[in-house]
Amino acid sequence: MINISNALDNLVDEFSKLPQIGRKTAMRLAMHITRQPKQDVERFSRALTEIKDRLRFCSVCCNITEDEVCNICRAGSRKHGIICVVEEPQDVFAIEKTNEFRGKYHVLHGIISPLDGIGPNDIRIKELLDRLSRSGDDKVEELILALNPTVEGETTILYLSKLLKPLEIKITRIARGIPVGSDLEFADEVTLAKALEGRILI
C-alpha cells in the first residue's frame, strides 16, 4: 500500500490508542480533522494539552481537580465525618448525581488485582490511611466502601476492612441486588441469589 502522508498515519495511530477506538474509527476521526478549519483544530489541540497542564490530583481525596484541594473537599457544607471510597473519578460523578451523599470521597485509582500486577501499594490506600490518622478534630466516623461487586472489588473491601480494623471506624459497604423499579421475576437467578444473601433486618 502506498503511504499517502506520514502525518496522517501518525494521527491515525494516536487516535487508535484511545479506548474503544479501532483502526477504522481512528481513520474516520483523522479524516474529519483534515476537513476542519484550522482554528477549530487548534482549539481542540489546546484543550488536549491544557487538560494535562491543569488537572492534578486533590491532595486530600485524590480525585481529579484543577486546584491543590478539590471543590468537594473544600466545601464547608459537606460532612467531614463520612468518607465514601470509590475506585475511579467517574464513580464520584455517578454518586454526586444522586444528590444523596453529603460526605466526602476518597478515590483509589484502581483496585487490588495481583493478576494485573496491582497490589495495595499501586493504588491510593496509603493516602487514605494518612488521611484517617491525621484528621484531627473532624474525626472520621464512617467509611463507605462503594466498590464494584466483582471478585477484585470484594477482596479489596475485605483487605481494607482488615487493614482499618485497628482504627475502630465504622466501615460499611453499599448494598447489591435487585435494581430499583424492576420486578423480582425478571431478575436473573445470580442477582437474586446475591440479593437474598445480602438481605437486611427490618
Partner 1 sequence: MILKRIVLKNFRNYSSQEITFNDKFNFIYGSNGQGKTNILEAVSYSTYGKSFLGAAESDCVKFGSNEFFVESDFINDLGNKDFIVISYDKLKKSKAVHRNKQKVNSFSAEVFGRFPLVFLSPKSLNITYGNPSDRRKFFDILISQSSNLYLDQLKELAKILRQKSALLREYSIHKKYKLADLKNLLNSYNEKLSEFSAKVLFKRLNFLKEFESYFDRNFQFLLKQDHRGKISYYSDITKEVFPEDALPEREELKAFTEKLLSEKYEDEIKRAVTLAGPQRDDYIFKLTKYGKDLNKGTDTFELKNFASQGEHKTFLLALKLSEYDYLKSTKSTSPVLLLDDILSELDEDRVSKIISHLKDYGQIFLTTTDRNYINRLKSFYSDSEISEFKIEEGKVI
Beta bridge partners of 105: 84
Q: Would you state the cell numbers that stand for residue 13, as one nine-digit string?
A: 495511530
Q: Strands 82-86 and 104-107, how do they pair?
A: parallel
What's the rounded Cα separation, in Å, for the pair 14 and 37?
20
Sign of the CA dihedral with 161 first, then 137, 83, and 60 last: negative
Q: Kindly tell me which of 142 and 154 has the beta carbon lying closer to partner 1.
A: 154
When asked if residue 18 is in the footprint of partner 1 (CB under 8 A), the reply is no
HSE at residue 107, side-chain half, CA atoms within 13 A, is: 22
Window contacting partner 1 (CB under 8 A); options: 24-32, 78-86, 129-137, 149-157: 149-157
Give the shortest CB-100-to-partner 1 separation in angstroms.
Answer: 28
When asked if residue 113 is in the footprint of partner 1 (CB under 8 A), the reply is yes
Choosing from 189, 199, 201, 202, the residue that interacts with partner 1 (CB under 8 A) is: 189
**Cα–Cα–Cα angle for 79, 82, 85, nearest 5°?**
130
Q: Kindly tell me which of 36 and 119 has the beta carbon lying closer to partner 1.
A: 119
Choosing from 55, 69, 75, 151, the residue that interacts with partner 1 (CB under 8 A) is: 151
Q: Kindly tell me which of 101 and 159 has the beta carbon lying closer to partner 1.
A: 159
Q: Is 54 helix (H, G, I), strand (E, B) or coil?
A: helix
When asked if residue 184 is in the footprint of partner 1 (CB under 8 A), the reply is no
When asked if residue 37 is in the footprint of partner 1 (CB under 8 A), the reply is no
Q: How many residues bind partner 1 (CB under 8 A)?
A: 20
